[in-house]
Amino acid sequence: MNNYSENVLEKLSSEPKNLWKRILIFLLILSLVIWGNTGSNFNGITEKGMNVAKAILYGITHPETLLLFNWTSKGIPMLLLETISIAFLGTLIGSLLAIPFAFLSATNIVPKWVSLIFRSITMLIRTIPALVWALIWIRVTGPGAFCGVVTQSIASIGMVSKMYITAIENLDTGVLEALDACGCNTLEKIRVGVIPQLSASFISTAIYRFDINLKDATILGIVGAGGIGFPLTDAIANARWNRVGAFVICLVLLVIIIEWISTKIRARLARGRS
């Protein structure tokens, strides 16, 4: 009995003592936060700010229900449809455009220098934020939902191709060798050896990106690229909080529902067809 407790105590005392290290890390983070706060302009909440906050909360809890059943292009159903359409087309085109990029950056398919070139291109695409892409494309297509579609098609390539690359580099080449041994030609090898291995993860990635694009599509309207973003910011700027409330509630519900559906589909894809 005594022996056991001695063992435990011995084990405990042999554990590394990290106290100083932890204090140091804590101080480092604390000093970073203090430095980060130096430029901050917080000088108490003003009377006016308080009133605005109250108005916002009141508006969100008392949404304008009329907008929900307004079937013109200014009503919420049409705006939501437009937002979903932007995300859907953007994701579809983006995930198709990403396929050649991914194959040309996979190290098990092309030489190293080719993959390096295409990886840097996708990296550059990823660095430019979606909103900035929209500002650039607006000069090409003019304002409107079409600009949103083009923006998302390009902005999706970065992340989607990165995830495709992982799937391609994990390809099981044993299958291809087996097909070779059966005497299959290249086309047949792609049809039964490559596509079944990649399709599930490619589709899963595209659905995941659709989730993200839907969230992005709601803000693209701020710069005039269509969707619900423009009426939302317009309502905020004009302090029509009941309208803002209706937009925000519908937006939140839409995002939550789509996320729930996409998680379900992706879980099913990961398990394989049941």
24 contributes a contact to another protein by CB under 8 A = no
For residue 248, give both structure tokens: 């925000």
Q: Which of 11, 17, 112, 139 binds another protein (CB under 8 A)?
A: 139
233 contributes a contact to another protein by CB under 8 A = yes
32 contributes a contact to another protein by CB under 8 A = yes
194 contributes a contact to another protein by CB under 8 A = no
Query: Residue holding tokens 């059943």?
Result: 69
70 contributes a contact to another protein by CB under 8 A = no
Q: For the CB of residue 213, give the shortest distance to another protein in the complex, in Å.
A: 12
259 contributes a contact to another protein by CB under 8 A = yes
236 contributes a contact to another protein by CB under 8 A = yes
Binding segment toward another protein, per CB under 8 A, in 106-114, 142-150, 160-168, 176-184: 142-150
- Cα–Cα distance, 57 to 72 (Å, whole number): 27
Binding segment toward another protein, per CB under 8 A, in 98-106, 110-118, 173-181, 231-239: 231-239
Longest CA pairwise span in the chain (Å) = 81
Q: Does the CA dihedral 215-208-250-74 come out positive or negative?
A: positive
Q: Which of 10, 20, 36, 71 binds another protein (CB under 8 A)?
A: 36
248 contributes a contact to another protein by CB under 8 A = yes
Binding site for another protein (CB under 8 A): 29, 32-33, 35-42, 45-46, 49-50, 52-53, 56, 78, 81-82, 84-86, 88-89, 92, 124, 127-129, 131-132, 135-137, 139-142, 144-146, 148-150, 215-216, 218-219, 222-223, 226, 232-233, 236, 248, 251-252, 255-256, 259
